[in-house]
Structures are given as C-alpha cells and as structure tokens.
Amino acid sequence: MAINILIVDDSSTMRGFMKRTLEATKLPLGDLWEAGNGREGLDRMRDHWVDLVLADLNMPDMTGVEMIDEMSRQPMLAPIPVIVVSSEGDQAVLHSLAQKGVKEFIRKPFHAGLLQEVVEKVLMIAG
C-alpha cells in the first residue's frame, strides 16, 4: 500500500527537507504533494487522494489551524490524519490541536528519523 502525503508549509526549504527525508525512508511512498499555505493544502486535498498531511501552523493566507478547522467541516477531508510540524511550543495551542484531532506534533527543528517514526506510528505501519 503506497501512502500519499501532503506537505503544507510556507517555507519551500522546509517542504524540500521533509520531502527528501521521506524519500530517504523505507516508507511505502506513493505521491508527495506540496502546498505553501492552508488554502493551497485544501485545494491539493480536494484534487488528489491524500493519506496523511504534514502541516505547519504559522503560514500566510490560511494558517495550519484554520486548515485543520476547515478539514473537520468537510466529510471527505475530516478523516485524513494530520501531523503538525511546527516550532510552536504554546501548550494551550498544542492541547487545542489534540482536541481537534491532530494525531501527533513534531517540533522544529527535528531529526530525520523522527519524521519516519511518527508517520509509521500514525499510519500504523510496521517499521
């Protein structure tokens, strides 16, 4: 089973790093899509089959939190698991995200192995 992942981050450098990191793993990857903000992320999810979203929080136009809120209101997008990858450290924000159904939180900066571990955990893939 190939997994299709959407990377939503306003930093093209971070998107590239996450994409290269995922490609270097042994994860059964399908397509990797990118978006520069939450609005673009929603468009990609509507246009493509996405199994997992890796999302930053602080982005222009539409934040990651706003994107997650919109996903929860759309029956086709609500089941897609989200892993937040952000430098955000506010515990109230993190608690709020967990209440919204965010599966995991990876704090930037992170080591490459952590990304694979968290994706495997969320998608229940044997590592």
Does the structure show a pLDDT above 70 at 107?
yes
Q: Mind listing the pLDDT tens digit for each residue in 7-59?
A: 999 999 999 999 999 999 989 999 999 999 999 999 999 999 999 999 999 99
User: To which residue do tokens 């608690």 refer?
Assistant: 95
DSSP for 70-127? HHHHSTTTTTS-EEEEES---HHHHHHHHHTT--EEEESS--HHHHHHHHHHHHT---
The residue segments making up the domain with residue 108 are 3-123
Smallest CA-to-CA distance from 15 within 54, 67, 65 is with: 54
For 10, the enclosing helix (H) or strand (E) is none
How many domains does the chain fold into? 1
Q: Are 28 and 5 in contact (CB under 8 A)?
A: no
Does the structure show a pLDDT above 80 at 126?
no
The structure's pTM equals 0.95
84: domain CATH number is 3.40.50.2300
Burial class (CB in 10 A: 0-12, 13-18, 19+), 6: buried
What gap in Å lies between CA 50 and CA 103, rounded to an integer? Answer: 15
Between 18-22, 79-83, 85-89, the lowest mean confidence (pLDDT) is in 85-89
Q: Are 49 and 3 in contact (CB under 8 A)?
A: no
